A and B are shown apart, each in its own frame.
Chain A
Amino acid sequence: MSVLSNSKPETGSFFQRDLGWHPPAFAPQYKTSVLRAPQKALISLDNTLSEITGPVFGHNILGEFDNDLIHNFAKPGESAIGPRIIVYGRVLDERGKGVAGALLEFWQANAGGRYRHRKEGYIAPLDPNFGGCGRTITDEEGNYSFRTILPGPYPWPNRVNDWRPSHIHFSIFGHGFAQRLITQMYFEGDPLIWKCPIVDTIPGREAIEGLVAALDMEATLPMDARAYKFDIVLRGRRSTMFENRLEGS
């Protein structure tokens, strides 16, 4: 495993998670949550070594096309169908520091809103050149980028006529296991964002807007791909471990 050269590992515990900012476990507008929401209070646990440590992923795990969903499943010389986009941004922590070496994994439907999955029930067609997964690792400043096609909105079984806005699912690995996060990226201007029961599980408008990527015409590649900027914030951490360590232990 490679350790990034000029970054000294931090060992402090993570800032307390603001559970009122995140969606609650029980959100009946999203029906599946009803039977999958724990009903008892979570037990609060100040981080121990088990939470402040975490695995490292070296750039050596990445293949050449891992960050190019237009080509990573396509036959040689072919490419996925759909509006071509670049998604880029930074992974930061709550202190505003870039998170170097963060592993980002993403998955999405194709341009028609169809997932390549055995259980998928939507009638939109598969694209033979689109798999729907990719990954990358942030650089020393926390920057990342990847190339894909704009995913389509899709209907899903919840209420009879619920549609997901266009979105890309993100899984993020920071530096400690307690920073582990899965979220979704939405696209600026999509009217379906404000009609979606899954988006609506998030209590506050500001928290929702934090998941909406901005169209960036300056970063757009003329005659090739539009660009969307999506920054991700992971939990911040205190500076040192064992601030209150007992004498002699």
Chain B
Amino acid sequence: MAQPLGRLKESASQTAGPYVHIGLTPNFAEIEGVYEADLGISMVNDKTRGERITVTGQIFDGSGTALKDAMVEIWQADAEGLYNSPAEMRGSADPNFTGWGRSPTNMQDGEFRFETIKPGRVPFRDGRLMAPHITFWIVARGINLGLSTRMYFADEEAANAEDPVLARIEHRVRVPTLLAPRDGNGYRFDIHLQGDKETVFFDI
């Protein structure tokens, strides 16, 4: 026997269920007047530095049907590669950029949408630079534990080629599932929960 470590266990996850929009984007869910605006609806303002981009996409289930009851959150660095977070010790991020966004998938075609900026590069654990990327977190009915993934920019070929996280993906044929192609003024990042095109999800 030895002394107990006295650690607690993380609360078990449960699905966000079909009505996650009531809780997290109530104005979108037509519950108006409780909050002024839905959180995470706006990431930028007039003074935000960096290239404005729109990130859109859909989330497809194993039958190829887009999820209309999902909720997507993103987290990213500013244009200089700094996070707007107290745990960011390298400098002060752009105060006009939150870095965090939240979008429901809409009831028509299940599209999510973020008006944001292209992030700068952030160092990996050993100091090497990662390629520009946006962290995604996806919850919905039928998803028992929120899914984590990353969107990379397909047109950042050189940076992507030396990215230490992408390099960790053994089955190279799956890497393109994380690369968002340019689409007009933005990037398109479709997510597949199952099938040949199943997106790489991370255990972070």
Chain A contact residues, CB within 8 Å of chain B? 1, 3, 9-11, 14, 17-19, 21-25, 27, 30, 32-40, 42-57, 61, 63, 65-66, 72-73, 92-96, 105-107, 115-120, 131-135, 169, 171, 175-178, 180-184, 198-199, 201-202, 206-208, 210-211, 232-236, 241-242, 244-246, 249
Contact = CB atoms under 8 A, between A and B. Distances in A.
Contacts of A73: 31, 33-34
A49 B36 contact: no
Interface string B33-73: 11110010000000000000000000001110101010001
Interface residues of B, number: 84
A182 B127 contact: no
Contacts of B63: 35
24 contacts: A14-B204, A36-B194, A37-B143, A38-B198, A40-B174, A45-B165, A45-B203, A49-B83, A49-B88, A49-B122, A50-B122, A52-B87, A53-B75, A56-B85, A57-B39, A107-B20, A115-B19, A116-B22, A118-B30, A131-B34, A169-B23, A181-B13, A234-B10, A246-B127
A33 to B, nearest CB: 5
Interface in B99-132: 99-100, 107, 122-128, 130
Contacts of B15: 30, 32-33, 182, 198, 201
B154 interface: no
Contacts of B9: 18, 21, 94, 206-207, 210, 233
B39 A61 contact: yes
Contact of A171 (B23, B100, B141): B23
Given A23-B13, A36-B143, 16 more contacts: A34-B142, A36-B194, A39-B198, A40-B201, A45-B204, A48-B165, A50-B122, A72-B34, A107-B19, A115-B19, A117-B18, A117-B22, A119-B69, A180-B137, A182-B13, A245-B125
Nearest to A33: B142
B159 interface: no
Contacts of B69: 119
A144 to B, nearest CB: 14
Contact of B146 (A169, A180, A249): A180
Given A32-B142, A35-B63, A132-B22, A177 B75 contact: yes
Contacts of B21: 117
Interface of B: 6-24, 26, 29-31, 33-36, 39, 61-63, 65, 67, 69, 73, 75-77, 83-89, 98-100, 107, 122-128, 130, 133, 135, 137, 139-148, 150, 165, 168-169, 174, 193-194, 198-204
A27 B50 CA distance: 43
Given A36-B67, A38-B194, A183-B14, A244 B31 contact: no
Contacts of B194: 35-39
Contacts of A21: 9-10, 12
A177 B23 contact: no
Nearest to B143: A36
A48 B22 contact: no
Contacts of A208: 12
B204 A245 contact: no
Nearest to B33: A73
Nearest to B16: A182
Given A33-B142, A42-B203, A184-B14, A63 B87 contact: no
Nearest to B144: A23
Contacts of B133: 50
A245 B126 contact: yes
A180 to B, nearest CB: 5
